[in-house]
């Protein structure tokens, strides 16, 4: 395996060795990474000696000492609220290269995919490379002794700050065309003729809800246009809340030839803004957090910010933006992107001609892609030194 393939993060590692899904799950486990979705589904997934050896080869590689952050500490004690991204950022110039850093001994840690508050991490610098290991200080001379730590999945730290993006798995959705929502089940009446609905109130829905119980409510899909071409890339709907079907309706033709319609009854279970007649239903997606391990794209990537989620004009750290690249462009969940600020055009007052010149573009932040659609995606702003706005450029880091 080449050094380049290791740099791209765990997703490309698994692609490079061409392993089946079952083996890839085991490798995820052995790489020393927290997987919120798959760790819960497979907390004790068996690892064969061959699988463990493959994972060990990747995890034990380490990073060149030159790739450590300038002020990388020699050790660190994990705190509640930490993420693997936070910890890797302490030690590395490029946090998405953490698979090389987490050179954890699989004999030392029984569940190496779980890192817990209170664990003592230290840098092992040998043979020109650095590896992050787990141990505990012993005595005043700070010698290190390996220890085994078992813990609950609930206590394990996550890869990135999931609390910042979890709500958007429900709320932020891009439809390929406006008909997707316009043809969806719709609210046709409210309880006792109310104009607006609040939580725990009843509404009546016309359309096929099937046997699905939980739905999201949206309204007013708006087109999202590419900043460069002005082409419509998708439709973003305004999130209203969630409802639960309490009684399925029927629709058919009676013996007299007249259409008989009995709408479904739904109860508003959560609300972001008051619901009303005309709001449309969309299924609640599965809570799928797998593949949310940050990694760099395996190929050059460039694009622009389409919009700031929530109608803001500019955005900063921990806000959500829509990108004009999606799955058809090679974007993956977990991709880390660099944010760029366009250089200003100025007049050169030092020359006789006083011609206009453009200053160089400057990199000033990072994006983390967490939802991917066909032609667009949503990303969390991990860091930004300047306000982020529509049209700003992003590239591979």
Find the CATH number of the domain harbouring 310: 2.40.10.410
Do residue 277 and residue 342 come from a single domain?
A: no
293 located within any domain: no
Q: Give the whole-angstrom CA distance, residue 98 versus residue 294.
A: 9
361 in a structural domain: yes
Residues 8 and 100 in one domain: yes
Q: Are residues 64 and 157 in the same domain?
A: yes
Q: What is the pLDDT of residue 110?
A: 43
* Residues 277 and 319 reside in one and the same domain: no
Judge whether 290 lies within some domain: no
Q: Can you give the pTM of this predicted structure?
A: 0.68
What is the predicted pLDDT for the residue at 126? Answer: 82
Whether 125 is in a domain gets the answer yes
Same domain, 157 and 178: no
Which residues span the domain enclosing 348? 302-395
Same domain, 229 and 308: no
* Residue 119: inside a domain: yes
Task: Let me know: does 358 contact 344? Beta carbons within 8 Å.
Answer: yes
CA dist., res. 86 & res. 168, Å (int) = 21
Alpha helices in the chain (DSSP H): 3-7, 10-17, 21-30, 36-41, 49-59, 84-91, 98-101, 162-171, 179-182
Are 194 and 56 members of one domain?
no
**Residue 391 included in any domain:** yes
Q: What is the DSSP string of 45-94?
A: ----HHHHHHHHHHHTS-EEGGGB-TT--SEEE--TT-BHHHHHHHHBSS
Residue 188 forms part of a structural domain: yes
Same domain, 41 and 152: yes
pLDDT tens-digit series, residues 176-194: 888 888 889 999 999 888 8
The predicted structure's pLDDT at residue 252: 66
Q: Which of 132, 163, 194 is the last residue of a domain?
A: 163
SS3 per-residue string spanning 169-200: HHHCCEECCCHHHHCCCEEEEEHHHCCCECCC
Separation of first and last alpha carbons in the chain: 22
Identify the pLDDT of residue 395: 96
What total of structural domains would you count in the chain? 3
Q: Which residues of the chain have pLDDT under 50?
A: 1-48, 50-51, 54-55, 105-113, 140-154
- pLDDT value of residue 58: 53
Report yes or no: 237 and 221 within 8 Å, Cβ to Cβ: yes
Q: What six digits make up the tokens of 313?
A: 């004009």
Domain assignment present for 39: yes
Q: What is the pLDDT of residue 258?
A: 73
263 and 322 part of one domain? no
Q: Identify whether residues 224 and 118 lie together within a single domain.
A: no
pLDDT, position 311: 75
Task: Looking at the structure, tell me whether residues 43 and 157 fall in a common domain.
Answer: yes
The reply to whether 273 and 317 lie within a common domain is: no
């Amino acid at each position: 395996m080449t050094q380049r393939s290791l740099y791209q993060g765990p997703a490309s590692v698994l692609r490079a060795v061409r392993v089946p899904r079952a083996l890839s799950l085991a490798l995820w486990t052995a790489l020393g990474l927290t997987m919120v979705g798959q760790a819960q589904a497979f907390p004790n997934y068996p690892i064969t000696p061959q699988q463990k050896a493959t994972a060990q080869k990747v995890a034990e590689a380490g990073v060149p000492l030159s790739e450590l952050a300038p002020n990388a500490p020699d050790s660190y004690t994990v705190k509640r609220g930490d993420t693997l991204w936070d910890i890797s950022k302490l030690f590395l110039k490029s946090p998405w290269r953490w698979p090389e850093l987490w050179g954890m001994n699989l004999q030392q840690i029984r569940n190496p995919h779980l890192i817990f508050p209170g664990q003592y991490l230290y840098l092992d610098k040998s043979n020109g490379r650095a590896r992050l290991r787990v141990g505990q200080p012993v005595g005043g001379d700070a010698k290190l002794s390996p220890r085994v730590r078992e813990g609950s999945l609930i206590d394990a730290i996550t890869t990135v700050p999931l609390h910042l993006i979890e709500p958007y798995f429900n709320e932020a959705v891009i439809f390929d065309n406006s008909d997707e929502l316009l043809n969806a089940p719709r609210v046709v009446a409210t309880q006792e003729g109310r104009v607006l609905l609040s939580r725990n109130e009843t509404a009546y829905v016309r359309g096929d809800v099937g046997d699905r119980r939980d739905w999201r409510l949206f309204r007013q899909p708006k087109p999202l246009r590419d900043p460069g071409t002005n082409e419509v890339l998708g439709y973003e709907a305004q999130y209203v809340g969630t409802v639960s079907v309490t009684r399925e309706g029927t629709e058919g033709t009676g013996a007299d030839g007249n259409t008989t319609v009995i709408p479904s009854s739904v109860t508003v279970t959560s609300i972001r803004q008051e619901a009303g007649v005309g709001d449309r239903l969309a299924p609640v997606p599965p809570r799928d957090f797998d593949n949310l391990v940050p990694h760099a794209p395996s190929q050059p990537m460039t694009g622009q910010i389409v919009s700031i989620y929530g109608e803001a004009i500019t955005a900063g750290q921990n806000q959500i933006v829509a990108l004009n690249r999606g799955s058809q462009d090679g974007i993956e969940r977990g991709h880390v992107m660099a944010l760029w600020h366009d250089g200003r055009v100025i007049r050169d007052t030092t020359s006789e001609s006083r011609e206009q010149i453009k200053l160089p573009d400057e990199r000033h932040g990072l994006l983390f892609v967490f939802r991917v659609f066909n032609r667009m995606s949503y990303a969390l702003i991990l860091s930004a030194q300047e306000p982020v706005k529509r049209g700003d450029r992003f590239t591979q880091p």
